[in-house]
Amino acid sequence: MIINFENINIILTFVTGLFTLLLKKYYYAYIILFYALTIGFHSVCIKNIQNSNITRFTNIPAYITLFVLIIISFYVLYKSNITGTSNKIISISQLSLSILFIILLKYGKSKFEILNENFINYIPSLFFIGFLISVSIIKDNQMILGKTYSEHM
C-alpha cells in the first residue's frame, strides 16, 4: 500500500506539516496537515468501526489528498526558478524510490526474507516524507502557491 495507516506514519506526516508551517509555507503545510488528518481519520475508523463496508470507503479521502499533494508538489517543482535541477532530481528520486519500494514489497516478500520484517514497511513512508520535506524547503514554494491561489480566486 502506498499509504501506511499506522500511528507512526500519522505522527511523521503531522510533524512534517508542522515543520512546513515553521518554514512559513502555509499553503503547502495545510495540505500536508490535511493529509495527516485523512490518514488519522481512516486509522481511527479501522480501529473503532467493526463494519468493513464503511471502512472500505474511509480511505478514499486519504488517497485523493495524496494524489493532490503529489500533483501540487510537482507543480511547485516545475514552477520553481530558485531550485536547481539537481535538487529537483533529488526530490523526484525520493518519490520514485518510495513507489519502487512499494512495488518491491508487494511482489518481493515471497522471494526475499528480509522484506517480511516489520520495520521494512515504513521505508516507503520515510522516502515520501523526505519528498515532502524537500519540496517544502523550496524558497519560492509559498510564492508559487500563493500566486496560483490568488489567480484562481
pLDDT in tens, 19-72: 999 998 999 999 999 999 999 999 888 888 776 777 778 889 999 999 999 999
**Least confident piece of the model among 29-38, 44-53, 82-91, 137-146:** 44-53
C-alpha cell at 93: 528520486
pLDDT value at position 73? 93
Cα separation of 76 and 147, whole Å?
A: 11
Residue from 4, 14, 2 nearest 119 by CA: 4
pLDDT value at position 93? 94
The predicted model scores a pTM of: 0.88
Question: Within 13 Å and on the Cβ side, how many CA atoms surround 52?
Answer: 0
pLDDT in tens, 106-124: 887 777 777 777 778 888 8
Tally Cβ neighbours within 10 Å of residue 41: 16
116 DSSP assignment: G
pLDDT value at position 131? 94
| Residue that has been written with the C-alpha cell 500533483 in this structure | 71
